[in-house]
């Protein structure tokens, strides 16, 4: 059984988890509704997703304190599927995406998130902070004669004033007491001020109504029922599979990338370590359940996760509380959550932005290598302009190319003649796709003696390009009628050398036990 209050040896404060989870539940509502509109589905589909994702990942996931729900990263993928085929195909795609994520966890693919370079992580964090900030700007618009228009005059002043008050409470209250989460106090205080002074401030229900057609807006409400089980109503055919598979694969990939990067960020903040593979399984379970209970699925939410962590929510109980409180609001307290001023929630998110952005990166950007600074800015920019998953993939690729370029000529050799009259090439540095060209230039088959030894004690073959370079070098020595000896070469490389035996002699003594592709990440 999962222990909802304790995780291994770490002790979590039950009161903090419950109060922080309640705060998170309030912040989940407008986000879930907004992303439901982005995906082209009804608000309740987004709220159901926030409840189910939050509850199941809190129980089965690998990172206590991390909050999951309906997200914009996955919603933008869903919109075309819903528009072309309807919401039932979306549910089928989310179900399949969950299965893919579970398989990723079972196959232990979550460990590869540890390979994301630090500049990419910084770019991800900064870019996401900017995205969260830009997303809040939509709350400064109201319904006008020509559609949504920017606030002006008194409405704008009230909005800005309430946001400033919220941010002030969140910033200063922890300096006085940490007995209750500052975010929860700020939401309640601002709501009471708006009601008590009868201020004309936009509320959560105003946001929902502004996003609906006029005939639906008048009766719009966030009150709902328990989600019910239903197999997606789609034809069980190969044609259906080919329709939903590309969407499912993208949803699964984006969801895992965002969740595992958020997990790594919270690991760093809390100085603990989550379980990446378990998080993959937890996300998969949650998305699979979404598919059969009418939710739009999703992944980890960095904004709500930061709210939770900053308010002291560190255990699984915080995520469970957030989900259950959200469900309670949907079933019994919709009228209370509908009256919360948007300014209070925007103020909370602005504080998240300030806490998420790595301000230190601005100070060190001139001190780090130019290539790292470029990657940091690139990932931030792509995150803002396009998508988190694309940004991370581009960042990792560029980092790998930079590494290859820097290390292409980091292979050197010392030569000497040993007691047997053999010429020895003592290599230093890795042999991989970037260095094979320089590696070939180090040897002189025409003028070398009859026996040549390549010493690999201080060198490693890092990929298949390196193996092919060795094979080609052996061919060159064979054509000159000379014998090539490879000493201290790894067993895997010896096995893969296609023509070893005829072309070269391999010394099997004292071979190091390393592999071309390491599998040491936990």
Residues 104 and 17 in one domain: yes
State residue 485 phi and psi, 5-degree precision. -110, 130
The domain of 350 spans 11-357
Residues 134 and 240 in one domain: yes
- E-assigned strands of 174-275? none
Residues 278 and 426 in one domain: no
- Is there a domain that residue 517 lies in? no
CATH number at 454 reads 3.30.750.24
- Is there a domain that residue 386 lies in? no
* Confidence at 7, pLDDT banded by 50, 70, 90: very low
- Is there a domain that residue 403 lies in? no
CA proximity to 346, closest of 503, 206, 226, 442: 206
pTM: 0.70
- pLDDT of residue 498 exceeding 80, the answer is no
Residues 137 and 248 in one domain: yes
- Whose tokens are 């000497």? That residue is 416
Look at residue 325 in the predicted model and tell me its pLDDT. Answer: 93
Q: pLDDT tens, 84-137?
A: 999 999 999 999 999 999 999 999 887 777 677 888 888 888 887 888 788 788
Q: pLDDT tens, 509-521?
A: 445 555 544 433 3
Residues 158 and 290 in one domain: yes
User: What's the number of domains the chain is made of?
Assistant: 2
Residues 170 and 299 in one domain: yes
- Is there a domain that residue 57 lies in? yes
- Is there a domain that residue 402 lies in? no
- Is there a domain that residue 324 lies in? yes
- Is there a domain that residue 421 lies in? yes
Residues 352 and 427 in one domain: no
Please count the residues of the chain. 522
Residues 341 and 417 in one domain: no
In 3-state terms the chain splits into helix, strand, coil percentages (rounded to 5) of 60, 10, 30
Residues 290 and 436 in one domain: no
Listed range (26-40, 182-196, 257-271, 282-296) with the worst mean pLDDT: 26-40
CA proximity to 185, closest of 197, 199, 170, 200: 170
Residues 333 and 431 in one domain: no
Residues 340 and 419 in one domain: no
- Token pair for 465: 């390009």
Contact 452, 423 (CB under 8 A): yes
- Is there a domain that residue 321 lies in? yes
- For residues 186-200, give the mean pLDDT: 91
């Amino acid at each position: 059984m999962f222990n909802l209050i304790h995780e291994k040896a770490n002790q979590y404060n039950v009161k903090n988890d419950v109060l922080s989870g309640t705060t998170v539940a309030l912040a989940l509502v407008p986000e879930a509704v907004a992303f439901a509109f982005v995906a082209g589905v009804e608000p309740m589909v987004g709220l159901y997703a926030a409840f189910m994702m939050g509850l199941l990942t809190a129980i089965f996931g690998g990172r206590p304190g991390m909050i999951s729900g309906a997200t914009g990263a996955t919603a933008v993928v869903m919109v075309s599927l819903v528009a072309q085929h309807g919401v039932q195909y979306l549910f089928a795609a989310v179900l399949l995406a969950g299965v893919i994520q579970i398989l990723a966890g079972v196959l232990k693919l979550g460990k590869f998130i540890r390979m994301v370079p630090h500049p990419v992580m910084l770019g991800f964090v900064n870019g996401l902070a900017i995205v969260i900030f830009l997303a809040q700007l939509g709350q400064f618009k109201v319904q006008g004669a020509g559609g949504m228009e920017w606030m002006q005059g008194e409405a704008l002043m009230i909005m800005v004033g309430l946001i400033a008050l919220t941010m002030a409470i969140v910033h200063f209250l922890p300096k006085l007491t940490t007995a209750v989460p500052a975010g929860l106090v700020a939401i309640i205080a601002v709501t009471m001020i708006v009601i008590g002074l009868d201020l004309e401030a936009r509320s959560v229900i105003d946001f929902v109504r502004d996003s609906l057609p006029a005939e639906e807006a008048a009766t719009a409400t966030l009150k709902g029922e328990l989600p019910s089980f239903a197999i997606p109503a789609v034809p069980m055919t190969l044609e259906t599979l080919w329709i939903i598979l590309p969407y499912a694969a993208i949803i699964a990939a984006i969801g895992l990338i965002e969740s595992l990067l958020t997990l790594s960020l919270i690991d760093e903040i809390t100085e603990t370590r989550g379980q990446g593979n378990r998080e993959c399984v937890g996300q998969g379970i949650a998305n699979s359940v979404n598919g059969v209970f009418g939710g739009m699925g999703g992944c980890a939410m960095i904004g709500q996760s930061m709210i939770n962590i900053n308010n002291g929510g560190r255990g699984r109980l915080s995520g469970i509380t957030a989900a259950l409180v959200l469900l309670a609001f949907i079933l019994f307290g919709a009228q209370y959550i509908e009256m919360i001023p948007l300014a209070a929630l925007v103020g909370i998110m602005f504080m998240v932005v300030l806490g998420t952005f790595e301000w230190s990166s601005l100070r060190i950007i001139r001190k780090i290598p130019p290539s790292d600074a470029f990657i940091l800015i690139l990932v931030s920019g792509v995150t803002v302009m396009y998508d988190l998953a694309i940004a991370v993939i581009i960042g990792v690729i560029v980092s790998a190319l930079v590494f290859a370029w820097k290390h292409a000529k980091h292979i050197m050799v010392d030569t000497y003649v040993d007691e047997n009259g053999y010429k020895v090439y003592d290599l230093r540095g890795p042999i991989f796709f970037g260095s094979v060209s320089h590696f070939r230039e180090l040897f002189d088959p025409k003028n070398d003696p009859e026996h040549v030894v390549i010493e690999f004690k201080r060198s490693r073959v890092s990929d298949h390009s390196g193996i092919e370079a060795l094979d080609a070098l052996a061919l060159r020595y064979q054509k000159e009628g000379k014998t090539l000896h490879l000493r201290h070469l790894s067993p895997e490389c010896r096995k893969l050398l296609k023509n070893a035996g005829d072309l070269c002699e391999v010394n099997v003594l004292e071979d190091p036990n390393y592999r071309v592709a390491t599998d040491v990440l936990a």
